[in-house]
Amino acid sequence: MIVDARQVEGDLSADICVVGAGAAGIAVVLQFLAGRQDVLLMEAGGEDDEAETQALYGGEVADEKLHAPPVNYRRRAFGGSTAIWGGRCMPFDPIDFAQRPWMPGPGWPIGIEDVMPFYPAANAICEAGDFAYTAQAAFPGGMRPLLKGFAGRHFSDDTLERFSCPTDFGKRYRARIAQSRHVRLVLHANVTELRTGVDGSFVESLAVQTLTGRAFTVRARRVVLAMGGLEVPRLLLASRDRHARGIGNAHDQVGRNYMCHIAGSLGEVHVAGDARDHWHSYQVADDGVYCRRRFALRAQAQARLGVGNFVTRLHHPRIPDPAHRTGALSALMLAKPLISYEYSKRLHGEAALSLDAWAGHVRNVLLDPVDTARFLLHFLARRTLAARKFPTVIVRPKNGVYTLDFHSEQEANPQSRVALVAARDALGMQRIRVDWRYTQGDIRTVRVAAEALAADMAESGCARLSFDPQTVEACALRDGAYGGHHIGTARMATTAAQGVVDAQCRVHGIRNLYVAGSAVFPTSGQANPTLTIVALAVRLAETLKKDVLF
Amino acid sequence: MTAAGGQVLVLGGDGFVGSAIVAALARSGEFQPVRGIRRARAGAVPFRLCDATDPGSVRRALDGVRYVVNAVFGGDATLRAATRAVCDAQAGLERVVHLSTMSVYGEVSGLVDERAVLAVDAGGYAGSKVACEAIVQTYVAGGGAAVILRPGVVMGAGGQQWAGRLCRLLRARRLGDLGEAGDGFCNLIDARDVGAATVAALRAPEAVGSAINLGTPGPPRWNEVLVRLGRAIGAVPVPRIGRRRLAMEARLAVPLHVGKLVATRCGLAVGTLPEPIPPALLRLFAQQIRLDAGRASAVLAFERTSVDVTLADCARWFLESTPK
């Protein structure tokens, strides 16, 4: 059932109230469509984008070069940020859950075995096909090699990333929710405060407001916050009726250890052999899903080298520099004003392009009309118009020289944080300030991993990677924190002194309050977070189903 | 239980569902099936020539028969006439099993049990089946013993309506993973299970006078069925079919249907025209209806074929019978 908070008369009550209808919130309620529990799903936005609602996300950032404004890479509407995500899916690795003495922070209080049972369901919800993340499992008949002859001591090229359509959870699961007698989706319902009971040990009610001036209360036996890694700490910190520092924040943990990923491109990869000996593009599995190999730093190598998790892919040259002489890439550069902020960020480069550079891009297009037209037609047919979209721009460099596109773990750092500021939004709720910080440990992971890959390529004799170690930091920070991955701000830990939620995602000290989403991740790993967000959400739903109170 | 079996006339006994029922009756060891068919066709099971739409013909075919199963398939007039012919025959039948359909529930969603209101205003096939059920209910009200079975999607090897059509469209890459348009439940039931349910319906006294859904508890969604079938017949990679494409298919359905009729009339090769995908089929793919199979389990208690086995059988049959 779908209702609108602007038309709700009186207060609401339910067995379970889920706040936020994005990937996590929708994944939770999908487990209750035919259950016994009465579930409310509170969505701050409507079914479509609304500027006034989106503006409620506004806030400050310490450094805009390092982190996008909080209104970007997020969407306050039914479906949440799944309306703008790229669809890249991969599970966390076992080592992400292991105790790693060389990495800061307490790590996860649960093991991969606690999450693995829920990954296949998460894969299905994300529409990423089979839960098969190795070349052998996904392509029993064989998959094209990334680099023919590659055999790495440090890196494996056998693991895959799979791609969702990308699925907009709101559109995809609307019908299921609308027909459910057990789940009520309440649109335009902004939860602005959690009110706790007399001893502060449980959430008694939620304060809800609409932008049209309505206010009401929701009471639920269980409350799940699924609002994303920036809004979860915001609401916890803003709820101070009986917790002066905010709910779950007795030990000043809420909003700290904020992580994204360290990502960028670096170096030059000169590939030996002819074009048939390397393949950096996608292959479609039998289930119709786009899959792609990448180089993944092996767990043993991470331990031996004392670094975080790291993956990298062969990539086209940096687009802003017209020296690549590739018409397709220059066409993208010229189309930058037509591309959304989230997808055009990498087209910016460090500085504004000179007139000469723009002229260079025009020249590239004019001198490369056939390949440019072919690329644009492919883009139109396989991405713009396709129901399952070709995931990213893939262009084979004309000179056979690739760069490395890397995606690296960011380590937990208490100084990297999300906090409240005095400024308030239209509903009177305090806005956030994002002070994202990286460490030299983060940069070391990229540099050391790149050196290890260079050694693997040299030993394999299939390619040569060269890069200037002095430029690694600049490469890693060229585009700032990886957008949209908001991790760690209510992290999972055994004790309240180390984190915000326990191993069951329940807020320490609050017996009926849970968090779903990447806010609970104690580490960021190499993987994009959505698949694990959904897996943990399904796990949380199972926990709630077993709750003796029900 | 009723007294020991006897002869069972299966109207439509050479059709896909009718054949499965005949086979189940033959296997039962208790009932002796007789195919009620329009044209003589050899087979291990005896037949009686019978025009199911002709009351006189049906009455003659019922001579010495204790039970009738109405599995006639056809247009509105055929369905209504055959049902009337059986119910009006006054042949002293011990029991009639009438094969209806889940379509009688119309375009509702949620878990639907046999008490749900029927779509009395529905047109087309659903409307015909609702009308037929009304005839059977009148028969029951008049003292007749009848059981109405409402199967969902009857699949199995040899079934052109579902297995054959779906596999052909999958092979042509016109169906695949349909996203939200294929998120409805596929209330499939194996044709052999319809046969087993029919045998049970002839036996179980508590079944008389009622309707019983025939579906799979915890049914798969259509997308799962389509992707699995597609992979099983080698129609890979299974494509994602978007809403725009499906809307185009829906718009083309009537012209294609008309084109086929014209081509048939003119003696042209119909096979050159693409198979239409009716809008009603596309609506079914998205329909969030789950047949409540509880009553069937409780009253008929037949052993169900797993979805895995059904789909594997369909794929094997299609590959053997329809070369690329």
Q: Would you state the torsion angle of the CA atoms of residues A102, A105, A111, A117, taken in this order, to the nearest 10 degrees?
A: -120
pLDDT score recorded for residue A510: 98
The answer to whether residue B322 sits within a structural domain is no
The answer to whether residue A88 sits within a structural domain is yes
Helix axes B16-28, B191-203, angle to 10 degrees: 50
Cβ-defined contact of A165 to B240 (cutoff 8 Å): yes
For residues A43 and A77, the answer to whether their CB atoms sit within 8 Å is: yes
Cβ-defined contact of A284 to B237 (cutoff 8 Å): yes
Boundary of a domain, candidates A427, A452, A477: A477
Give yes or no: residues A86 and A35 share one domain: yes
Give yes or no: residues A281 and A173 share one domain: no
| DSSP letters for A271-335 | EPS-GGGB--S-EE-TTS-EEEE-EEE-HHHHHHHT---EEEEEEPPPTT-GGG--HHHHHHHHT
In A335-429, beta strands by DSSP E: 401-408, 417-424
Give me the number of domains chain B comprises: 1
In the A/B pair of chains, how many CB contacts fall below 8 A?
Answer: 56
Which member of A171, A172, A288 has the closest CB to residue B239?
A288
Residue B2: pLDDT above 50? Answer: no
Structural tokens at position B184: 């409805």
Cβ-defined contact of A179 to B110 (cutoff 8 Å): yes
Give yes or no: residues A387 and A461 share one domain: yes
Give yes or no: residues A172 and A220 share one domain: yes
pLDDT, one tens digit per residue, over A88-144 is 999 999 999 999 999 999 999 999 999 999 999 999 999 999 999 999 999 999 999
Give me the number of domains chain A comprises: 2
Measured in angstroms, the CA of A504 and the nearest CA of chain B are apart by 28
Give yes or no: residues A247 and A186 share one domain: yes
Note whether A1 contacts B: Cβ–Cβ < 8 A.
Answer: no
The answer to whether residue B87 sits within a structural domain is yes
Give yes or no: residues A139 and A235 share one domain: no
Which member of A175, A284, A286 has the closest CB to residue B288?
A175
User: 3-class SS at B312?
Assistant: helix
User: Of chain B residues 215-234, which have a CB less than 8 A from chain A?
Assistant: 227, 231
The answer to whether residue B1 sits within a structural domain is no
- Distance set, CA A101 to CA A105, A307, A521, A523 (Å): 9, 10, 18, 13
pLDDT score recorded for residue B42: 81
Note whether B236 contacts A: Cβ–Cβ < 8 A.
Answer: yes
The answer to whether residue A415 sits within a structural domain is no
Give yes or no: residues A114 and A38 share one domain: yes
The answer to whether residue B267 sits within a structural domain is no
Note whether A179 contacts B: Cβ–Cβ < 8 A.
Answer: yes
Q: Residue A479: which of A201, A67, A141 has the closest Cα?
A: A67
The DSSP symbol for A134 reads: B
Strands A2-4 and B6-11, by their bridges, are: unpaired
For an interface test with A, which of B180, B236, B241, B248 has the most A Cβ atoms less than 10 Å from its Cβ?
B180
- Distance set, CA A30 to CA A13, A122, A183, A419, A546 (Å): 19, 11, 9, 32, 16
User: 3-class SS at B67?
Assistant: strand
Mean pLDDT confidence for B300-322: 96
Note whether A288 contacts B: Cβ–Cβ < 8 A.
Answer: yes
Measured in angstroms, the CA of B252 and the nearest CA of chain A are apart by 20
Give yes or no: residues A110 and A206 share one domain: yes
- Distance set, CA A167 to CA A8, A173, A261, A436, A539 (Å): 30, 10, 22, 28, 21
Boundary of a domain, candidates A454, A477, A500: A477
The answer to whether residue B250 sits within a structural domain is no
The answer to whether residue A450 sits within a structural domain is yes
CATH number at residue B81: 3.40.50.720
Which member of B227, B244, B288 has the closest CB to residue A287?
B227
The answer to whether residue A248 sits within a structural domain is yes
The answer to whether residue B319 sits within a structural domain is no
Give yes or no: residues A18 and A142 share one domain: no
CATH number at residue A94: 3.50.50.60
The answer to whether residue A7 sits within a structural domain is yes
The answer to whether residue A10 sits within a structural domain is yes
Give yes or no: residues A49 and A151 share one domain: no
For an interface test with B, which of A125, A176, A181 has the most B Cβ atoms less than 10 Å from its Cβ?
A176
A311 - beta bridge partners? A296, A407
Structural tokens at position A58: 């506004």
Give the domain range for residue A306. 135-164+262-410+440-477
Structural tokens at position B268: 């042209």
Cβ-defined contact of B239 to A388 (cutoff 8 Å): yes
Mean pLDDT confidence for B270-289: 90
Cβ-defined contact of A285 to B237 (cutoff 8 Å): yes
Note whether A98 contacts B: Cβ–Cβ < 8 A.
Answer: no
Question: Residue ranges of chain A with pLDDT lower than 70?
Answer: 345-346, 348-351, 548-550
pLDDT above 90: percentage of residues in chain A: 90
Q: Residue A541: which of A50, A113, A37 has the closest Cα?
A: A37
Cβ-defined contact of B237 to A288 (cutoff 8 Å): yes
The answer to whether residue A360 sits within a structural domain is yes
Cβ-defined contact of B240 to A288 (cutoff 8 Å): yes
pLDDT score recorded for residue B257: 86
Measured in angstroms, the CA of A228 and the nearest CA of chain B are apart by 24
Residue B136: pLDDT above 70? Answer: yes
Give yes or no: residues A174 and A285 share one domain: no
CA A446 centroid distance within chain: 19
Cβ-defined contact of B288 to A179 (cutoff 8 Å): yes
pLDDT score recorded for residue B1: 42
Give the domain range for residue B201. 6-156+187-216+287-305
The DSSP symbol for B161 reads: I
Give yes or no: residues A154 and A272 share one domain: yes
The answer to whether residue B22 sits within a structural domain is yes
The answer to whether residue A83 sits within a structural domain is yes
What is the C-alpha to C-alpha distance for residues A188 and A56, in angstroms, rounded to an integer?
12
Q: Residue A403: which of A493, A255, A520, A268 has the closest Cα?
A: A268
Boundary of a domain, candidates A452, A477, A502: A477
Q: What is the ipTM of this complex?
A: 0.91
Measured in angstroms, the CA of A78 and the nearest CA of chain B are apart by 15
Structural tokens at position B289: 């209806």
pLDDT score recorded for residue A284: 98
User: Of chain B residues 285-324, which have a CB less than 8 A from chain A?
Assistant: 286, 288
Q: Where are the alpha helices (H) located in A98-251, listed in sequence order?
A: 112-115, 119-125, 135-138, 169-179, 231-238
Radius of gyration of chain A (CA): 23
For an interface test with A, which of B113, B288, B289, B290 has the most A Cβ atoms less than 10 Å from its Cβ?
B288
In Å, the largest CA–CA distance within chain B is 57
User: 3-class SS at B90?
Assistant: coil
